[in-house]
Chain A
């Protein structure tokens, strides 16, 4: 995929909505397209965090290993970001990411993005604000799952 196509794909991705053209261009320089097959593992729990992805099509299951089985705790699809922990240093992957459908994504090498953020703090601030919004959304969603609103006691607690 040519850089101009990458830039266009990035501009259309909801994660980067509102990012200024210079910052978009900077990210485009760091991005490359990847594809995965159904059931392919993108990363495993415990893997060193290296890449993060902006999914452009397909569906990925985030799974956690339980004794004898895997439990899917979230699915990520077109418009979602996968692997934000790669923007933190010395953090390993917390979950397994498995493709449910054929997946297309734009990939970024975490350490290179971190270096770009260090070099240009305004750019870094914008990227981290975007990441923080994702983390906040995921935290809210996870809290709602933990509440178990659909259990027999239900949300009414009776």
Chain B
């Protein structure tokens, strides 16, 4: 039996075989989160991704991790990842220097339903680092503005110092037919924005629920409450999509680390229709 797996995107290269890429830049986004930009080999299929997909990033001799791609899908000369430094591998990745190399596999997984959302309004609900996997979807809508109705981005973070892409976020809010609101759990006196859980922002959104596609990414507790709130506001569950997170190793549905009920998050996800995830989201064991 052959153990060599192939993905359509990396046709010709075994899915488990990484390719080296040069670190172009590392930008500090917050006190613990960094945006890493790498230059993949020119024309390599590793750079052809859909919004919502992820790559496996490998720091030589340290380890490999799944990281969602946070850049523009149509700028293939670079691949961008926003990484929170919380462990050994992520620390090593965000302390690389421009010019150094890391290795990459992918892209892997399912993507946000950009085709299904055409002609509809797009409601993005992000929590914490969950804004990173949603940013390519936002870029896509902004690049193809005529294909979509309203764009609403709701973003919740722990505190003002934890918010990602602050300048870019403010710029989104200035665009026509676009609403970008953020809230934090705790704010100081100098913070003049919203304080409270992200679902409270839905009160400020005017959308036709049946003509809206919602895309959610963030802590599962947040997504659970957000889906309840969306349903109570008339959004059909079939129009809600979630990006799930589980420990992954192989990224191609082979090792079983990321199994969630009958699904492998790496292969069947990370983006799932809410209708598929609903039975599993309240289960402690999963």
Contacts and interface: CB of A to CB of B under 8 A. Distances in A.
Main secondary structure of the interface of A (DSSP, over half): mixed
Interface in B134-174: 156-158, 162
Interface residues of B, number: 34
Contacts of B219: 149-150, 154-156
10 contacts: A75-B187, A141-B196, A141-B197, A141-B200, A144-B225, A145-B185, A149-B222, A152-B32, A155-B221, A156-B219
A12 to B, nearest CB: 14
A141 B219 CA distance: 15
A73 interface: yes
B213 to A, nearest CB: 23
Contacts of B204: 77
Contact of A73 (B32, B195, B225): B195
Nearest to B85: A152
A71 B192 CA distance: 12
Contacts of A145: 185-186, 196-197
A63 B192 CA distance: 12
A98 to B, nearest CB: 8
Contact of B189 (A63, A77, A150): A63
A100 B189 CA distance: 9
B128 A72 contact: no
Interface in B179-225: 183, 185-189, 191-197, 199-200, 203-204, 218-222, 225
Interface size class, chain A:
20 to 34
Contacts of B257: none
A92 B14 CA distance: 68
A74 B195 contact: yes
Contacts of A61: 187, 195
A121 interface: no
A148 B158 contact: yes
